[in-house]
Chains A and B, each alone.
Chain A
Amino acid sequence: AQRVTQPEKLLSVFKGAPVELKCNYSYSGSPELFWYVQYSRQRLQLLLRHISRESIKGFTADLNKGETSFHLKKPFAQEEDSAMYYCALDPGSGGSNYKLTFGKGTLLTVNP
């Protein structure tokens, strides 16, 4: 069975500092990895997915199959980045894209 681990429950940085939210996964096949974000009092929304290899709001994430990691990074954090971040995995069989397994989430706080 697949598993997603986000080792940090809380992460606090200062505005302008680099930020890295860690995500490790375990899955025997070739999964698809996602990052979701939930801003205060808002819905969970897709931030980025590894297959698109794009940068959203300055965030990037690289899938490292050797280390089974998909860490989320941003070089200069902004106060509006404060939110709960969830890493998620889809087994990828048939490109279903719905049977996601989520990590427990990391609450990022960016201080002024």
Chain B
Amino acid sequence: NAGVMQNPRHLVRRRGQEARLRCSPMKGHSHVYWYRQLPEEGLKFMVYLQKENIIDESGMPKERFSAEFPKEGPSILRIQQVVRGDSAAYFCASSPSTGIDTEAFFGQGTRLTVV
């Protein structure tokens, strides 16, 4: 099992462009979580998805950010009209279920730089 795969590892976008970050969960995992780590900060929860459903998006900014996890293919975190403040490391994690004994496995992250 290759683990949670995120791509690209590094992404540079100009202000106003769109950023698409992809996350392929571990095999057998149907729960995906996205976290954002701003410079000099800890990771912060953004959104939790299951296949084709957004379960909890309480950490997502209200505008420009969206996430999906289609029936086929990776989960996508989409940031429209990026601004410099979106520069951060975005981490994806996956788990086979949720619950007190469940461990979420993290990807290596995508570092987004907005210039």
Contacts and interface: CB of A to CB of B under 8 A. Distances in A.
Interface of A: 4, 6, 32, 42-46, 51, 86, 88, 95-105
Question: Main secondary structure on chain A at its contact with chain B?
Answer: loop
Q: How large is the interface on B (under 10, 10 to 19, 20 to 34, 35 or more residues)?
A: 20 to 34
A4 B95 contact: no
Interface in B89-109: 91, 93, 95, 98-100, 102-108
Contacts, number: 63
A104 B95 CA distance: 23
B33 interface: yes
Interface in B23-77: 31, 33, 35, 37, 40-45, 48, 56, 58-59
A97 B42 contact: no
B69 to A, nearest CB: 14
A95 B99 contact: yes
Contact of B106 (A6, A32, A44): A44
